[in-house]
Structure 1
């Protein structure tokens, strides 16, 4: 086992442990917005200790039974909004990867292009689902269709921004870092995906800031 594989195993273990810690806590102290009980553990997988710190600092105060004062400023609220977007994207991307791999898919002879296409579609689908699950409980008068329209407005640009960061890293991995890029059945691949998700989060944050500032998306 080479150094990169050891680092990959450590990163995956830390991410999964972070997810588990958050999951146990949201089970004990469920969030007021139900979908956030899913969002925070997903972010734990790729952000590890950063997700742990931000959850206990900015996320846990929104637990139903704790009733703490919400003194978060816009940067913190935008960060939480970005975790919501990133979780949907991450789940979609994670589901899209094995579909492409096991189906042996390629578009125009390119497996990377197949990954881009399938993962974007899956990420968008889950991103919209997560948005609807956030919007509808607070605005039931809009109905499902109205909530879906609001979700499209709120999530499209933030999702595109996320995928720009993620897909950009995937291109670097594919064309620059490796002579033979890792495959989804290798631990190194999932370490690269963790990095991709972090970069996607970073590129999505400014988009979420703009959407919240313009009132297109509610700060969470």
Structure 2
């Protein structure tokens, strides 16, 4: 059983992330970024990064930000990937929880015997598609590419970036699901619990860490645009 204090702390973290996301959405209305897709990236990433994201935006991306170091540009590019993962996970994890039959289309009962791996497969597919769309609207306008060429360039930029993010995210959630939750609570925790989503905030931060170096390489090579 999850202690009430743990649940309360999880709810507090989620509300903090939500408040920061609302604040960032307000900032996007006040100061629309040059790259339109970033209007969605900043609020989505604030859901898991909270006050750290708000500080980073004002320091390296908001009005008046100058002399942005390359490391911060890489971080912005990495967050661009994280926004697609965040959106996909919000949709897919809730869908898997409330409409579990959808997991049969992603291998449950045929490839996988447990729901979590089918859910991760669904997450990855939707995150990749979302990430490519986000990358398309970042790359195609800047390079003046056709639709086909833009999609191809977006896929090249996003597959490695998103996959490396998912490695960190799934790694942490796997640790939480198979080790931490049973050890501390004597049970697993699913998307119906605030504790699951608080753990997902930490998992997203782990994803950022594992995706940072690949994004550095992608931006240095020119496959991905600087944000």
Provide the aligned C-alpha RMSD in A. Answer: 1.3
How many Å separate the matches in 2 of 1:219 and 1:139? 12
In the alignment, structure 1 residue 139 sits paired with structure 2 residue 139: no
How many Å separate the matches in 2 of 1:210 and 1:181? 37
Please, which runs of 5 or more residues in structure 1 have no aligned partner? 62-67
How many Å separate the matches in 1 of 2:6 and 2:118? 26
Q: Which of 172, 176, 180 is residue 169 of structure 1 equivalent to?
A: 172
Equivalent residue, structure 2, for 1:101: 97
| TM-superposition CA deviations, 1:52-111 (whole Å, max 9, x none) | 0011111214xxxxxx46411110100111111110111112111122222223352211
How many Å separate the matches in 2 of 1:135 and 1:154? 9
Equivalent residue, structure 2, for 1:158: 161
Please, which runs of 5 or more residues in structure 2 have no aligned partner? none
Tell me, what secondary structure is at the counterpart of 1:136? helix
Equivalent residue, structure 1, for 2:119: 115
TM-score, with length taken from structure 1? 0.93
Conservation of the 8 A alpha-carbon contact between 2:58 and 2:65:
no
How many Å separate the matches in 2 of 1:154 and 1:73? 21
How many Å separate the matches in 1 of 2:181 and 2:72? 36
TM-score, with length taken from structure 2? 0.90
Conservation of the 8 A alpha-carbon contact between 2:59 and 2:65:
no
| TM-superposition CA deviations, 1:135-188 (whole Å, max 9, x none) | 122122x21110111101111111010000000011111110122221111111
- Residues paired across the two proteins, number: 213
Conservation of the 8 A alpha-carbon contact between 2:139 and 2:224:
no
How many Å separate the matches in 1 of 2:27 and 2:65? 19
Range with bigger deviation, 103-112 or 162-171? 103-112
How many Å separate the matches in 2 of 1:191 and 1:77? 27
Equivalent residue, structure 2, for 1:10: 12
